[in-house]
Amino acid sequence: MQAVSAWRPPVPGIAEVFHARFERHAYPMHTHETWTLLIVDDGAIRYDLDRSEHGAVGATVTLLPPDVPHDGQSATEGGFRKRVLYLDRAVLGDELIGAAVGRPEFGDPLLRARLDQLHRSLSGPETLEAESRLAFVAERLLSHLGAPAPAGPAPPRLAADLRELLDSRVTAGVTLQEASAALFAHPTHLVRSFTGAFGLPPHAYLMGRRIALARTLLLDGRRPAEAAIEAGFFDQAHLHRHFVRHVGVSPGRYARRRR
């Protein structure tokens, strides 16, 4: 039995998402041009990396560097279920390949939890949340590989400047990469300063602003499908999911009760 799901999300730095369930499949020795970031949700995987034997299990995070040969097969009778992110080389940098060869597994519960959250955020069309979670995953990986932390504290007005940027782009949205370039700040500095100042991360703030705009449009008589697009949602289903979560009723029921 096997099941595979793969897609390329609109998130800078992620070349591919790959979810798979295998019972008997064995990977031959091969390489990737990207970083391979792997978590195992069921079973265990035995693999060789650069002629050294390793194992991937549920409690650990596995990072395989680009251009380094590796294989892989189930280490248990029932096979394995895994989730993989293929990250662009620039996310971590080629200078860390050697460090990753020497230590490809990390028993880090926080990193494991953040990676799980990142995978869950990649199932929807919003990119700001996934970008934010990727930034913190990358920061944690860089720390494990011995890379220096981003220098300096965040500027005092950084959170307010980011809120102004989000307020000006409620419908169009803004990527974390764009915000980082516009405000001359490291992505994790942006998210940390905003969350500390306003009590919620940037992606949650932007979603709240979009819900507020959709409510106004619905009360003005827009149909849910129209309000969804005008408020910056991907489609009506996207609006429906978040509207029910925030307001407690569907957009259609909310609009019918507007009088």
Which of 28, 105, 29, 27 is CA-nearest to residue 64? 105
State the Cα–Cα distance between residues 199 and 54, nearest whole angstrom: 41
**What pLDDT is stored for residue 148 in this prediction?**
81
DSSP 221: T
| Under 8 Å between Cβ of 84 and 18 | yes
**What pLDDT is stored for residue 125 in this prediction?**
83
CA-CA distances (angstroms) from residue 147 to 138, 141, 207? Answer: 11, 9, 33
State the Cα–Cα distance between residues 147 and 129, nearest whole angstrom: 24
- Between 176 and 153, the more confident residue is 176
Cα 255-256-259 angle, rounded to 5 deg: 90
Q: DSSP string spanning 155-183?
A: PTTHHHHHHHHHHHTTTT---HHHHHHHH
pLDDT digits (tens, 9 = 90+) for 99-129: 999 999 999 999 999 999 999 999 888 899 9
Mean pLDDT, residues 37-51: 94
**What pLDDT is stored for residue 1 in this prediction?**
64
Q: Which structure tokens are listed for 136?
A: 């913190």
| Under 8 Å between Cβ of 10 and 127 | yes
**What pLDDT is stored for residue 151 in this prediction?**
63
pTM across the whole model:
0.91
Report strand pairing: 14-22 vs 45-49. Answer: unpaired
